[in-house]
Structure 1
Amino acid sequence: MKKIILSTLMVGALAIGAQAQDDDFNKWSIEVNGGFNKPMSPMTPGYYSPILNIGHADLGVRYMFNEKFGTKLDFGFGSFGEASQDNNPEFSTNYYRVNLQGVANLGRIMNWETFSQRVNLLGHAGFGIGRVTPQQNEWEGFQDDVYNFIAGLTAQVKLTERIALNADISTIMNGRQNVAFDGASAITPLDYSFYGPKANWWTGTLGLSFYLGGASSHADWYLRESKYATKEELATQIGEIRDMLKDSDGDGVPDYLDKEPNTPAGARVDSHGRTLDSDGDGIPDHLDKCPFVPGPASLDGCPPEDTVEEVDYLKKAINDGYVNVYFAFDSSKPLGYSSSAANYVANFMKRNPGVSVELKGYADEIGPEDYNMKLSERRAKAVYDLLVAAGIDESRMTYKGYGEDTSVDKRSSDARQLARRVSFEVQD
């Protein structure tokens, strides 16, 4: 029967190797181990076995469903013998077992890959059948058929992507065993032989796992790229982020959002880094001495003095919402590219001392309404402080938070950005 089982395992392993599919990771392996055994009980009084008896081998085929769990079929065989002590009777008992076991990749479950990708730990447990056959003493030749339960731990060291070194320790409990491991006595009379587990023994082995399949790594060692990045990959990603956040032209808009990457120094830009020409006279605001009033280039963008007063154009531009200070999400600090709008309002008020301005703060619709009301007021106060710092008298300004701006589409990130602002209303 032992030869039939061994042949079946070998044929199965060859068939498995032929069918191993090309996947993200390999799932099949063949395991060959050999080492020690130790029968614990029952032993006939006066009979002793060595602490470590060389005489066990096993062969297994394992399949992993994923990186953490799998199953294996294995066949173990060997013999027990006496310890080399004075007056210790000789004995020899052969055995074999066949077990179907579940396997847990404990190293992956406990995230060992965070500190080592070459050392691993497997746990296994299952059930099977076996036979214990004493070769001498009173029960010589008796074939004691048993069932068994097995559990153990296997430490692994990856040698290559195809081979791993194994060190395993397992404990086995035999049920329905009739005869002591030494073959010199019966456990119970044969008429009462079919009671529960009555025998216990251990094995300790060294061996190799041979991984089958077309992928580059086995499930024992596979790491999903999205979960763990190498130091080099992290360094590359950080470098890319730094490059994205560069502001080469210093206009307050990062390069990856900047549609005009060579904005002249001091130019007023929109949220995409494009130079503004608020009055549409063809002269950019940073070169236009009257940025909100159209005028010819010969007068530096200002209209002739006998045409229309600047205050009328500025008042219309400001009150119609063309001049705003914008903010990032949940922030009361003006964005760099838009804070220059406060400077233009300050310049306008200095040139027109008879006007006053109300500052109106707004927020988008993300978040609680009462919180957004307070946030909008903090934004208005922040711009108020900028104008005071620019030399505008406090008596000429008021500020108020108006809460959420519901006039924009809150599903659009661009629209929400327009809502996060402080606007101005010029009052005579």
Structure 2
Amino acid sequence: MKKANLLALLSLISLSALSQEKKESKDFSITEFNKLTIEVTTVNAKGIEPFSPGYYSSSYKFIENITYNSINIGARYMLSPTFGLRADFGYLNLTNGKRSKSLDYNMQIPTFGVQGVINVSRLFNVEKTFGRFGLLFHGGLQISQLYSRTPDEVSSIDPSILVTSQNVGRKDNNLGIIFGFSPQFRLDDKLALISDVSLVNSLKQHFTWDGANSAPTNNLTGKLVSMSIGITYSIGAQNKHGDWTEIPSKKLKN
């Protein structure tokens, strides 16, 4: 039921964005801002659930345990000053962390996502008030493959006896819903610093984050949180980054 509600919410947001985009196309000179933005970020991702007994993510004291061992490359195209679309490729490398008391594990995850984006600063007409700061909301679907690199658990008495299979070398195709928010800070006319916090809810996950087969009671679910930081670059004829350019309204010209 929760999955159905999330999908319905994302569908409503998409329809609302398209409707608003058509309205804004009539009200604004939308050619007078840069629509395309590329971004590169480094990511700290942590699996929340499921895990096998003895395995878990490192402490959530980010200041003590931040390890940026993943990367994400994306492109965002704004259909209107407020609403746009985003596509990205990512690579996550989940481990237990140096200070964690968890058993050692390694899960490598390539990802591809398509999302809708809302420029909150423009939505509430506060881009002038925010100045160099901005805020984006995003949500959509993410496809990923889980590759386990965690060694199988064997008996301490007889190493030839397998205790738990960690599916080494196998892959698990996964589909999930991702949503989050991205604060921004403009460094110069086209370059900006961006950070992001996102949550992924899996809809088709058979592995635990350490690589074992997930228990049937998990019902293909999983959760992962990521925190990232990086840069964005606005591409286009206008001198200033599209998220902060003052856009004249056609209404004001009439």
Structure 1 residues 86, 97: closer, same or farther in 2, change over 3 A? closer
- 1:59-78 matched pairs, under 5 angstroms: 59-78=73-92
Partner of 2:111 in structure 1?
97
Distance 1:144 1:92 in 2: 14
Is residue 2:47 matched to residue 1:39? Answer: yes
Distance 2:57 2:142 in 1: 24
Structure 1 residues 140, 108: closer, same or farther in 2, change over 3 A? same
Is residue 2:181 matched to residue 1:153? Answer: yes
Is residue 2:95 matched to residue 1:81? Answer: yes
Answer with 1 or 2: which has the greater Rg: 1
Match of 1:221 among 239, 244, 247: 244
TM-score by length of 1: 0.44
Partner of 1:126 in structure 2?
140
What fraction of aligned residue pairs are identical, expressed as a percent? 28
* Greater RCO (CA < 8 Å, at least 6 residues apart): 2
Tell me, yes or no, if the aligned pair for 1:31 and 1:207 is still in contact at 8 Å.
Answer: yes
Tell me, yes or no, if the aligned pair for 1:23 and 1:214 is still in contact at 8 Å.
Answer: no
Tell me, yes or no, if the aligned pair for 2:32 and 2:247 is still in contact at 8 Å.
Answer: no
> C-alpha deviations, 1:332-370, integer Å up to 9, x for none?
xxxxxxxxxxxxxxxxxxxxxxxxxxxxxxxxxxxxxxx
Structure whose residues are more often helix by fraction: 1
Match of 1:202 among 198, 201, 225: 225
Is residue 2:202 matched to residue 1:188? Answer: no
C-alpha displacement of 1:115: 1.9
Partner letter of residue 145 of structure 1?
N
Structure whose residues are more often strand by fraction: 2
Distance 2:241 2:101 in 1: 51
For the residue of structure 1 that corresponds to 2:182, the secondary structure is strand
C-alpha displacement of 1:85: 4.8
C-alpha displacement of 1:216: 2.3
Q: Which runs of 4+ in 1 moved over 3 A?
A: 83-87
Partner of 1:421 in structure 2?
none
TM-score by length of 2: 0.73
Distance 1:131 1:86 in 2: 25
Question: What are the ranges of 5 or more consecutive residues in structure 1 without an aligned counterpart?
Answer: 1-21, 228-428
Structure 1 residues 206, 48: closer, same or farther in 2, change over 3 A? same
- 1:280-359 matched pairs, under 5 angstroms: none
C-alpha displacement of 1:65: 1.1
Partner of 2:33 in structure 1?
25
C-alpha displacement of 1:146: 0.6
Say what the alpha-carbon RMSD is for the aligned residues. Answer: 2.2
Q: What is the number of residues matched between the two proteins?
A: 201
C-alpha displacement of 1:163: 0.6
> C-alpha deviations, 1:112-146, integer Å up to 9, x for none?
22423210000110103110111023211110111
For the residue of structure 1 that corresponds to 2:121, the secondary structure is helix
Tell me, yes or no, if the aligned pair for 1:152 and 1:169 is still in contact at 8 Å.
Answer: yes
Partner letter of residue 31 of structure 1?
E
Partner letter of residue 116 of structure 1?
F
Question: What are the ranges of 5 or more consecutive residues in structure 2 without an aligned counterpart?
Answer: 1-29, 61-65, 152-164
